């Protein structure tokens, strides 16, 4: 009998080891697939912003996006990932209740010298989990990029993008998108799809930058009225927006915790980043309902193709914070309402003399705010996070506090750093360069060397 028990124990241990290995492989593959999907977001932003630029600025708009992406990667490796694990409880570097934060933990798992930050056999999932977060960081820079096209200096933009993606955004994620985050543990802040910690942060950061950057030449008349400055390719812009939507599947996949060696087995396939239960099925219903509701809401109030497709993105952002909670028809309504408000917010921003070239604040800043707040309106009483102690519930006040923190954390650095760059002469291109076009003055290539230059004949 004793030998049989020993054999059974060995069999159970072997099965558990195999289950752990399978879980690790699954989690590794899952997050690995989020990365190329999220790259589609940047393909989309690239097309979107180049199409929204005039032909004389098309390449310059694309180049700053690509360089920002490349610069964020090493900064996030050396600093950003460490910040996420070090500061969830605030700026004290203390350990939280879940035991996965603080100075010691950050040094163990996220220091550039840690065994987890390079090739190893013990933990095959950390690198791809890190990679998914890098893509979130790069997304914040791409959100900023659209609003400032056609007049920002490349150097100034890269500084702002790195600060936003590798420092500011990840601090917001530590506070509101981590099981030990103080907004979560103290106020029950719930933001599954990062409406606040990505979109609000980037949108309000962009607003701060735009105030100092100023409008494009010719945007406003002496009486304060605004002129429309159309991009050179609406089809390219619409295709870009659709690619962003495709990439959003990877973005929202990255908001899921799947079983693996680095995470506790919950008995289910997926949980939210807060440890609360969710399923891919529910997320799929709500993404598609948000997508549809956003398109219809924006189209009904504008009849404008640009706002229609921006509405698709805005609809998903409106649903994002509670996309793990919504009944699908409610997701449709939330998206419809958010997208219908979006063009009016963009017009209001314009009335204040702010030139947001693609409506980045309206789409990301305002609708990120709406997405966070609506969770407090429609999901009060749901569990915000599961833990060993009493379950913390979602509340309107908790969501409002989180939204205010995200707005301030985004706006203040964006305004202050862009102001410093402005003082140093590193924020805006010279007037002459802006008039001629940034491709002509800053880029050693031409986007359209023949077709859009009638002075050049085919023979030449």
Q: Is residue 335 part of a domain?
A: yes
Q: Is residue 222 part of a domain?
A: no
In this structure, how many other beta carbons lie within 10 angstroms of the beta carbon of residue 99? 10
Report residue 28 as tokens.
């590794």
Please tell me the total count of domains within the chain. Answer: 1
Q: Is residue 460 part of a domain?
A: no
Q: Distance of alpha carbon 429 from its chain centroid, rounded?
A: 27
Show the domain range for 375.
20-216+232-258+276-442
Rounded Cα distance between 158 and 449, Å, is 27
Quick check: 233 and 50 in contact, CB under 8 A? yes
Residue 456: per-residue pLDDT? 42
pLDDT band (50, 70, 90) for residue 18: low
Q: Is residue 166 part of a domain?
A: yes
Quick check: 286 and 334 in contact, CB under 8 A? no
Q: Is residue 395 part of a domain?
A: yes
92 burial level (CB within 10 Å; 0-12, 13-18, 19+): exposed
Q: Is residue 3 part of a domain?
A: no
Q: Is residue 449 part of a domain?
A: no
pLDDT digits (tens, 9 = 90+) for 154-181: 999 999 999 999 999 999 999 999 888 9
Quick check: 44 and 247 in contact, CB under 8 A? yes
pLDDT digits (tens, 9 = 90+) for 192-244: 999 999 999 999 999 999 999 999 999 999 998 999 999 999 999 999 999 99
Rounded Cα distance between 336 and 341, Å, is 9
CATH code where residue 365 lies: 1.10.3430.10
pTM exceeding 0.75 = yes
Write down the H helix ranges in 274-380: 280-302, 305-320, 328-351, 360, 367-378
Q: Is residue 60 part of a domain?
A: yes
pLDDT digits (tens, 9 = 90+) for 331-376: 999 999 999 999 999 999 999 999 999 999 999 999 999 999 999 9
Q: Which of 39, 37, 17, 19 is nearest to 27 (CA)?
A: 19
């Amino acid at each position: 009998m004793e030998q049989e028990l020993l054999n059974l124990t060995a069999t159970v241990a072997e099965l558990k080891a195999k289950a752990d290995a399978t879980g690790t492989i699954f989690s590794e593959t899952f997050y690995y697939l989020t990365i190329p999907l999220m790259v589609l977001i940047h393909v989309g932003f690239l097309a979107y912003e180049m199409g929204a630029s005039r032909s004389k600025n098309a390449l310059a708009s694309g180049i700053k996006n690509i360089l920002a992406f490349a610069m964020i990667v090493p900064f996030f490796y050396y600093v950003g990932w460490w910040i996420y694990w070090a500061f969830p409880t605030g700026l004290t570097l203390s350990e939280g209740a879940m035991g996965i934060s603080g100075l010691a933990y950050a040094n163990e798992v996220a220091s550039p010298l840690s065994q987890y930050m390079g090739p190893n056999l013990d933990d095959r999932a950390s690198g791809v989990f890190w990679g998914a977060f890098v893509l979130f960081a790069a997304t914040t820079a791409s959100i900023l990029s659209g609003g400032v096209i056609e007049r920002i200096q490349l150097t100034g933009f890269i500084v702002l993008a790195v600060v936003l993606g590798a420092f500011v955004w990840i601090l917001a994620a530590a506070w509101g998108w981590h099981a030990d985050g103080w907004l979560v543990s103290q106020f029950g802040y719930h933001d599954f799809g990062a409406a606040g910690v990505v979109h609000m942060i980037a949108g309000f950061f962009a607003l701060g930058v735009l105030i100092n950057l100023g409008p494009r030449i010719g945007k406003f008349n002496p009486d304060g009225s605004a002129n429309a400055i159309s991009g050179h390719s609406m089809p390219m812009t619409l295709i870009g927006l659709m690619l962003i939507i495709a990439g959003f599947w990877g973005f929202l996949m990255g908001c899921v915790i799947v079983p693996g060696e680095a995470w506790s087995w919950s008995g289910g396939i997926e949980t939210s980043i807060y440890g609360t239960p969710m399923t891919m099925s529910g997320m799929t219903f709500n993404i598609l309902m948000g997508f549809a509701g956003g398109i219809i809401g924006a189209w009904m109030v504008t009849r404008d193709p640009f706002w229609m497709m921006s509405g698709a993105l805005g609809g998903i952002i409106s649903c994002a914070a509670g996309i793990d909670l919504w009944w699908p028809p409610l997701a449709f309504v939330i998206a419809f309402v958010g997208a219908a408000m979006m063009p009016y917010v963009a017009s209001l921003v314009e009335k204040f003399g702010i030139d947001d070239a693609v409506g980045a604040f309206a789409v990301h800043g305002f609708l990120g705010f709406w997405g966070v707040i609506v969770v407090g309106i429609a999901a009060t009483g749901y569990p915000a996070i599961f833990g060993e102690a009493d379950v913390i519930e979602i509340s309107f006040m908790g969501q409002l506090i989180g939204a205010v923190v995200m707005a301030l954390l985004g706006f203040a650095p964006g305004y202050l750093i862009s102001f410093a760059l402005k003082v140093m002469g590193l924020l805006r291109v010279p007037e002459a360069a802006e008039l001629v076009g940034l491709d002509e003055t800053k880029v050693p290539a031409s986007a359209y060397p023949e077709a859009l230059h009638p002075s050049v004949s085919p023979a030449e």
